[in-house]
Amino acid sequence: MAGLFESAGGGSAAIALDELEASILRSLEVQMLELIGPGPGGVSDDPLAALFAEGPSEAPADPALARLFPDAYGDPAKPADEESRAAAGEFRRYTELDLRARKREDALHVVQALDGLGGEGGVVKLAAAECLRWLGALNDLRLTLGVRLEITEEDEQGLYDLPDTDELKPLVMAYLWLGALQESLLESMSD
């Protein structure tokens, strides 16, 4: 997979994806949409009800979702005390639904851009504001794959040495590719 972002000037970027790259990225984003879901309590069509909706006060049980929606208080390396658990729950209650919605919108934005290629490869051009959406969506995918693969900072170099026969190799390759996409997008945005 060779498709990486290039600067299109003014904080915008472009990426040329072949059919396989576009298909893999679209599939990963669709899976992300399914993982994020509407969240506990669903999504209301009533704008007033949605405005006053409260989210969950407990962290998600799924480790990948817990990584995407971490507690805002307490030290992640230590067990939470009662005070930080209560503060994190209160913060989560008022923010998680909006955060889920933004993550869904970012992933959907990527899917729609890839659908614009018509199932074939091609060039996706992103305005500066779209770059931020893509960056968020790529980050969410990479975080999720990192949790699923149980990758730590110490593992990072070993990923490149994984034998081709390892059943995790396709996911590891996707993880590394997403990292390269993120890096190239950040570089493109700064040019």
φ and ψ of 125, to 5 deg:
-105, 130
pLDDT at 30 over 60: yes
pLDDT at residue 17, rounded to an integer: 96
What is the tens place of the pLDDT at every residue in 153-191?
777 777 888 889 999 999 999 999 999 999 999 999 998
The pair of three-digit structure tokens given for residue 169, joined into one six-digit string: 């190799």
φ and ψ of 12, to 5 deg:
-95, 170
pLDDT at residue 51, rounded to an integer: 53
Section 129-135 average pLDDT: 97
Q: What does pLDDT average to over the chain?
A: 88
pLDDT at residue 1, rounded to an integer: 40
* CA separation for the pair 45, 117 (Å, rounded): 31
What is the tens place of the pLDDT at every residue in 34-77?
999 875 555 556 665 555 567 777 888 999 999 999 988 877 77
pLDDT at residue 39, rounded to an integer: 58
Residue 8 carries which side chain, given as an amino acid letter? A
First to last CA, the chain: 23
Residue 54 carries which side chain, given as an amino acid letter? E
C-alpha distances out from residue 141 to 6, 48, 129, 157, Å: 20, 31, 19, 20
Q: Are strands 5-9 and 122-126 parallel, antiparallel or unpaired?
A: unpaired
Section 72-91 average pLDDT: 82
Section 89-106 average pLDDT: 91
- Its pTM stands at 0.87
pLDDT at residue 103, rounded to an integer: 96
